[in-house]
Structure 1
Amino acid sequence: MLKIAIIAGTNRPNALNPQVVDWVAQQLAARGGIEAEIVRFDDFDLPVLDEPIPAGAHMYQNDHTKAWGAKLAEFDGYIFVTPEYNHSVPGGLKNALDYVSLEFNHKVAGIVNYGADKGVRAAEHLRLILANSRVAVVRDQTSFSIFTDFTDGQFAPQEVSVQPFASMIDDMVLWGEALVGAREKRAAMTDA
């Protein structure tokens, strides 16, 4: 059973994000075979990046970084639920991702994005950020429009928007299971 973190992509007050995050959690619970947990970076009180050494060195100095990294290390994969702010990912999400790197190595991710243009630019930027941490981001993503998938501020996704979610999860399971073996091989190479 894969352990998947559902990463809430913003901590903005009154954001639509919690509704989409909850929908993702409900979809995963109905599927079975996946253990999912909602993870919010704001629960870790991460200030603007304050680590003196780049994340790739894995030499964290601050307790908040160590706690954030330890939480992320628990998972086999991640679903990022991100809005699009100013044609990119929210600053808080980018800051949280800048803190860590190795915890993501050789794991799988899916993206659920939303915005005026369905949040596609945020998703594309997120793919580039995650590639630097050796994350295998699956091709299919789930994209929602704030104009057609929300009604009076309430998440009410259209069927056409929901359809890619199932294939995204199928690919995540396939890649996630394969990457467990890849991480084991990588660990054996490092120990040798």
Structure 2
Amino acid sequence: MIRIGIILGSTRPNRNGPQVAQWVLDMASGRDDAEFELIDLRDHPLPHLDEPVAPMFGPSVHEHTRAWAERIAPFDGFVIVTPEYNHSAPGVLKNAIDHLFAQWADKAVGFVSYGAGGGVRAVEQLRLVCGALGMADVSHQVTISVLTDFENYTTFTPDDRHATALSMLLDQVVAWSRALAPLRQASTETTLVNS
């Protein structure tokens, strides 16, 4: 069974992200083509990237990085739920992504973003980052406005069109995760042979 991690990419106090991420999980849990699990970055506090060697060149020396790698490695794909801060993704999300390399490779990723402009600029940057890591970003995206999809800017009240967009996004993430499975298998076999 394909496993998809839903990454909640904000750790701010009073964040809106948990409502959006839970909505994604609730919608996804009705499917029978994959298993979905929420990954909250608050549960994985990472210092600013502190590994002496880039993740693509060697094993991690720090326990917090190894624990994060063990959390991410089993998943076949991801849905990243991200706000937009100052035309970009949150630093904590970028930092979490930068801590790893092989654990992201050959996996699909989709984006659910929120902000005054729907979070589209944050996702534009994340697509570049994920591409550099060998991830396949799907074309469908869910863009949520904090101006119209949150009552009093705090209570998430998604429009029905977002459910349709999310369903199409999940279709793509699951399909691409399945299609990329042979590449992940080949990578795992290479790692086992070289270790």
TM-score range, shorter chain: over 0.9
What is the alpha-carbon distance in structure 1 between the residues aligned to residue 34 and residue 13 of structure 2? Answer: 30
Q: Is this contact kept in 2: 1:41–1:68, CA < 8 A?
A: no
1:34 aligns with 2:30: no
Return closer, same or farther for 1:63/1:189 CA change in 2, 3 Å cut-off: closer
Deviation of residue 171 (structure 1)? 1.1
In structure 2, the gaps of 5 or more residues are: none
1:129 aligns with 2:135: no
1:117 aligns with 2:129: no
Please name the residue that 1:6 is paired with.
6
What is the alpha-carbon distance in structure 1 between the residues aligned to residue 40 and residue 163 of structure 2? Answer: 23
Please name the residue that 2:185 is paired with.
184
Please name the residue that 2:59 is paired with.
59
Q: Is this contact kept in 2: 1:9–1:81, CA < 8 A?
A: yes
Bigger proportion of residues as helix: 1
How many residues end up aligned between the 2 structures?
Answer: 192
Please name the residue that 2:103 is paired with.
103
| Matching residue's letter, 1:121 | R
In structure 1, the gaps of 5 or more residues are: none
Secondary structure of the residue aligned to 2:13 is coil
1:14-25 pair list within 5 angstroms: 14-25=14-25
What is the alpha-carbon distance in structure 2 between the residues aligned to residue 53 and residue 189 of structure 1? Answer: 21
Deviation of residue 189 (structure 1)? 5.3
Deviations, residues 12-68 of structure 1 (Å, cap 9, x unaligned): 000000000100010111122221111122322211111111111142010000000
Please name the residue that 1:164 is paired with.
165
More displaced 10-residue stretch of structure 1: 88-97 or 33-42: 33-42
- How high is the TM-score relative to the length of structure 2? 0.94
What is the alpha-carbon distance in structure 2 between the residues aligned to residue 102 and residue 150 of structure 1? Answer: 37
1:60-99 pair list within 5 angstroms: 60-99=60-99
Deviations, residues 60-109 of structure 1 (Å, cap 9, x unaligned): 01000000011100100111000000100001111111110110110111
Return closer, same or farther for 1:82/1:105 CA change in 2, 3 Å cut-off: same
Deviation of residue 186 (structure 1)? 3.5
Q: Is this contact kept in 2: 1:110–1:172, CA < 8 A?
A: yes
- Identical-pair percentage: 40
More displaced 10-residue stretch of structure 1: 50-59 or 21-30: 50-59
- How high is the TM-score relative to the length of structure 1? 0.95
Deviation of residue 188 (structure 1)? 4.3
What is the alpha-carbon distance in structure 2 between the residues aligned to residue 90 and residue 173 of structure 1? Answer: 25
